[in-house]
Each structure stands twice: as structure tokens, then as C-alpha cells.
Structure 1
Amino acid sequence: MRKSAFLLPAVAVVIIGIMSSLFIVDEREKALVLQFGQIVKVQEEPGLGFKIPLIQEVVRYDDRILSRDLEPLEVTPSDDRRLVVDAFARYRIADVEQFRRAVGVGGEEAAARRLDSILRAETREVLGSVSSNDILSVDRAGLMLRIRNEAITQARALGLQVIDVRLKRTDLPPENLNATYERMKAERDREAADERARGNEAAQRIRAGADRTVIELVSEAQRESQIIQGEADAQRNEIFASAFGRDPEFFEFYRSMTAYQRSLRPGNSTMVLSPDNDFFNFLKSDQGRNAD
């Protein structure tokens, strides 16, 4: 009974000692075994690990790919057109020993703040070396790659591996938006005025061509009509001449009758002529007197 009283506490102490000397590393993490603040063992593989109770301690770090969103950052490109940039990075703890030596007891949060400083500095440097049009164009993929490559070198000193850097949004500062909108509106108005001017110029060319075509067509039609009229007049004169040649007396009579008909109309028959005028030859002839 007395042995049991001493044995049970001893067994309990042994069990507690064994339990405190064991630790489990999850597949999502890495572990360091520290002795008085110094690294004595690195446990990167998942499974069971051992440490000396009370003397050594275990510090765990995330082994997954981590994400870090930067606060909106104002940059000034080479054309002095300020932009506000939102970016984020993907990274992981690659060298857990270097990570511990670099950040100490600050852990992952301290490393994230230092990574923020690196990313902000590299973003300002890279985007400040190009124009705002390059940042807003498809060339931004190359700019993100430059930022990532520059950050990789500096983050390696922290034991971090930068996997990717992305620009989420690139906007103008609020105070510059109205000025930019007005400038864009002025540019669009200028382009519209240019288009209208080119349209008016083209319309004038088309109208001038149409007017020239009308003049040419009318001139050609008038020329052809004059030719036809001349040919008709010539044919008519030829017919008259032929008729006159066959019976000159009848032709003269016909012309006189036509002249009487045209001149002696109601309301327009007042004529002042001498009685012996040739105009009245046929009226004074025997045929005319008989007609009267």
C-alpha cells in the first residue's frame, strides 16, 4: 500500500515528462525546437517530434502559401501623373531558420510588416520609372513581374519566398479625377470636332463632284438637244424649200395666210399700214375680193 502511494505519483511524473517531451507537427506547418532562445532542431516534415521538457520549447510557423494585401499606395510615374495603386502578394516561409533569425519573436506578423515595406518600396521604384500609360496598359504584367523579381531578392533575407505580386487596381487620386474627366472630355470633343471637319470636307468633295457631274450632264444634254434641234430645223427647212420649189405660188399663199392668222386676232388686230403694202396682196387679189 505504501509502495503504491509512491509509485502512482512517479508513474504520473514519468507520463507527464514523456507527454511534455513529445510534440506533433501538422502538414500545414513547420516547427523549431528552441533551447534558451537558440535553434537546436528544425522539424519540417509532419509527424511526431521530441524535445527536452522544461528546457526546450517548440515554435510553429505556417508552411502554406500566405497572402498579404498592401494598403493603397500613391505612386508618381515618370510623367508626374499621380496614381493610387492597390496590390497584393503571395508568399511562403521557405527557410524557417533564417526566418526566425530575421524576425525573432515577432513571428509572422513582424515578417508581414517588413514584407510590406519591401513591396511598397519596389512598387514605387518600378512604377516610378515608367509612364502612367504603361501602368494602365497591358504592359502592367511585365511591371508586376519586375516588382516580384526585385522583392524576391530582398525577401530572401527574411527567409521568405515571394511567389507572386499583383496590382489589383490602379486609380487616380480623388482630387485629380475631375480634372482628368474634364481633360478626357476635351480630348473627346476635339476628336469629335476633327471627325466633323473631316466629314464636312468629304461632303463638300462629294457635293462638288455631284455638281460637276450635273453640269456635265446638263451641258451634254443641251448640246445633244441643240444638235437634234438644228438637225430638225435643217430637215424642216429642207422640206419647206422642197415644197417651195414645187409650187412657189402656193407656198407664198400659205405663208401669207399663216401671217394673217397670227396677226389678225380678236383684241390684237389694230395695224397701221399703207393700203398698197405687200402684206395685203392676197386680200386685194380676185380670190380675196370674192371671199369678201
Structure 2
Amino acid sequence: MILYDKRQLLLEPPLEQVILGDQKRLEVQTYARWRIADPLQFYQSLRSLDQANMQLGQLVSSSLRKELGQVSLPTLLSPDRVTVVAKIQAEVLARARSMGVEFSEVRFRKADLPLETSQAIYERMKSERQREAKELRAQGAQWAQQIQSKADKDKLAILSEAQRSAKITRGQGDASANQILSQAFGHDARFYHLYRSLQTYRQALAGSGPTLFLSPDAEFLRDLKTGPGHALQK
């Protein structure tokens, strides 16, 4: 007499690489829960648990490859993967029934891109980010140049307006000064003489020009010696 355990058993097939419908490779590991539903059929088909684990693992792998070979990676990354898993489980259930086995669950334990594929995707994403960063820097440089150009134009316009206003103000000031001097000189010729002398002193004595050697009795120094009062009384 052979006794079989009718409790739920765990099946853990090894990690395997499958090709998806979009020709991408995926490393997949599944797990399943099953039990012996018909001991006689199980004995006739599989005989032992070791044989059952081997053949049921092949059955799950075959169903897995069949279904995943019809879907793309984006599908597996979307909510539609639930439908894919349900199809795998339905096929496993149907094929295992004739062996006296009943599956209660078939699930993905792990699903990853192969290392070389992951690296290629990473490099592509890195290249895209670098390209986007380069474009953003170029746009930033262009905007900065436009802002600087506008600032330079505004600066020139402001300076030009300031110079024009200053020129007008100086002209108005010179005109007012000339008018005042003209009126003053017209009434007092001695004041005009004193003013011209002071202007001459200012030009001759200002700055660090050549040194002048003059006699104390020089006509040039007369008003400095006598003072403005004497010049106006003459």
C-alpha cells in the first residue's frame, strides 16, 4: 500500500529565461500550490512526489513560455498581467487534471530583465537624460543671451537719455550763466575785469601743470596782492 499526502504542496521551479512576444528576454521564477486530488490517477501518471515535482515543473514552464511568448513587456508591467497569470493557471489546471493533480495557485515569484538588458536600458535612459540636459542648458544659455542683449540695449538707451538730458541741462546752465554775466558786465566793467582775472588764476594754478616763476611785481599777480576790493575800486 502506498500512502500519499493530500495536503497542499509547494512547487518551486528554478529561475528561467523566456522570450516575450516583443522579443525581449525576461528572467522569471514561479511558484505553485497543488495537491493530489485522485491518488490512483496520480500513481498511474507520476508514481512519486519527486517525479511529480519534475513533471509538474516542466508543465508550468511549458505553459509559462507559451503565454508569455504572446505578450509584450509593457503588458506585463500593466494591470493586464493579471489576465496573463490567469491564463497560465488555467492551462496548468487543465493539463494537470489528467494526472490526478489539482493546482490551487500559480504565481510569479520574480520577473526581472536580464542583467545585460537592464544595463542596456539604463545606458539608453542615461543617454536620453544627458541629451535632455544638454538641450535645457542650450535653451538656458539662449535665454541668458537674450536677457543680456535686452539689458545692454536698455542700458544704452538709459545712458543716451541721461547724456542728452545732461547736455540740455548744461546748455541751459551755461545760457543762464552767460545771461547773468552779460547783465553784470554791462553794468560794471571793473567786475568783468576781476572775473576774467579770477578765471585766469584758476586755469593757471589748477592741477599739476608746469611751474611758473614770476616776479612779485608781475602784472599777473597784481589782483592777488591787492585783493578783489582794490580791483573793484579802480
Provide the TM-score with structure 2 as the length reference: 0.71
Residue in 1 that maps onto 2:73: 132
Asked whether the equivalents of residues 103 and 111 of structure 1 are also in contact (C-alpha less than 8 Å), the reply is no
- Are 2:54 and 1:113 equivalent residues in the alignment? yes
Distance 1:229 1:112, change over 3 A: same
Q: Which runs of 5+ in 1 are unaligned?
A: 1-57, 270-282
- Asked whether the 8 Å contact 1:68–1:89 carries over to 2, the reply is yes
Question: Does residue 1:93 correspond to 2:17, yes or no?
Answer: no
**Residue of structure 2 equivalent to 1:68:** 11
Kindly indicate whether structure 1 or structure 2 has the higher relative contact order, using CA contacts under 8 Å at least 6 residues apart: 2
Question: Distance between the aligned counterparts of 1:199 and 1:253, measured in 2?
Answer: 70
1:223 corresponds to which residue?
A: 161
Query: 1:136·1:170 contact (CA, 8 Å) conserved in 2?
Result: no
Counterpart CA distance in 2 for 1:213 and 1:189 is: 36
5+ unaligned residues in a row in structure 2: which ranges?
213-218
Question: 1:213 offset after TM fit, Å?
Answer: 2.4
Deviation readout 1:69-118 (Å, 9 max, x if unpaired): 11222211123232332111112233x2xx52354171444443332232
**Which has the larger helix fraction?**
2
Determine whether 1:237 maps to 2:178. no
- The residue number in structure 2 matching 1:122 is 63
CA RMSD of aligned residues (A): 3.6
CA, structure 1 residues 226+74, in 2 after alignment: closer, same or farther (shift >3 Å)? Answer: same
> Given the alignment, which residue of 146, 149, 152 partners 2:93?
152
Identity rate of aligned residues, in percent? 21
Q: What displacement does 1:68 show? A: 0.4
CA distance in 2, matches of 1:200, 1:217: 25
CA distance in structure 1 between the aligned counterparts of 2:148 and 2:82, rounded to whole angstroms: 53
TM norm structure 1: 0.59
The number of residues matched between the two structures is 214
- Equivalent pair of 2:36/2:42 in contact (CA under 8 Å): no
Q: Which amino acid is 2:90 matched to?
A: N
Verify the 8 A CA contact 1:244 1:251 in the aligned structure 2: no
Q: Give 1:168-179 correspondences, 5 Å limit.
A: 168-173=109-114, 177-178=115-116
